Amino acid sequence: MNSNVKIRQTEVLSDNWYTLRKVTYDYLTKEGTWQTQSREAYDRGNGATILLYNQEQKTVILTRQFRLPTFVNGNPTGMLIEACAGLLDKDNAEDCIKRETEEETGYQVSDVRKIFEAYMSPGSVTEILYFFVAEYAKDMKVNEGGGVAHEQENIEVLELPLDEALHMIKTGEIKDAKTIMLLQYAKLENLLA
């Protein structure tokens, strides 16, 4: 525990979709004085994401779906191209990403490899994201994917050459941070070499 931080008060501002809390705390500065600060933290749970890749075809599987926050922030269509991802809920990260992969992409993968974990927006969101990669093949396709109805998901599955996906970062067609990180990892680690 960090002895330089003392929580004074935690107030729930919203508990609608996820939980937004206002936390007031004392922070010991490097000068040795205590400073009272107040911040809001959005708790949506932790998540996992995966890049599916096919070495023979030199392709990756991505998804496209509507994301309201991007729409209200100026994305004219609200559509975002992303790597498959989901919240852990009560699963561990590996079980979660296997479930999400099948729900979203229709591929059933068993051999997933965790490559790292990262906080995606640590100034305001508590979520830590677990990053995975896995090889896929046509015979692993067990359904059409697209998400699950009760979660109101409407996901399009995309199969793209890795080089095309990397170019889409340059053109701005891919703006999702987790996806950019996974694609760059694939390039740096020569996953499709």
Q: Which domains does the chain have, with CATH numbers?
A: 5-43 (no CATH), 47-188 (3.90.79.10)
Give per-residue burial for 11-49: e unless 16+ CB within 10 Å, then b.
eeeeeeeeebbeeeeeeeeeeeeeeeeeeebbeeebbbb
Residue 149 has pLDDT above 80, yes or no: no
> Would the annotation count 104 as a binding residue?
yes
Look at residues 172, 175, 181, 50 and name the one whose alpha carbon lies nearest to residue 104.
50
Of 25-29, 79-83, 151-155, 168-172, least confident by mean pLDDT is: 151-155
- What would the pLDDT profile of 65-123 be if each residue is shown by its tens digit? 999 999 999 999 999 999 999 999 889 999 999 999 999 999 999 999 999 999 999 99
Q: Are 138 and 105 in contact (CB under 8 A)?
A: no
How much is the average pLDDT of 166-179? 98
How much is the average pLDDT of 116-139? 97
Q: What is the pTM of this model?
A: 0.93
Percent of the chain with pLDDT over 70: 100
- What would the pLDDT profile of 153-162 be if each residue is shown by its tens digit? 889 999 999 9
Residue 151 has pLDDT above 80, yes or no: no
> Would the annotation count 165 as a binding residue?
no
> Would the annotation count 83 as a binding residue?
no
> Would the annotation count 151 as a binding residue?
no
Residue 17 has pLDDT above 90, yes or no: no
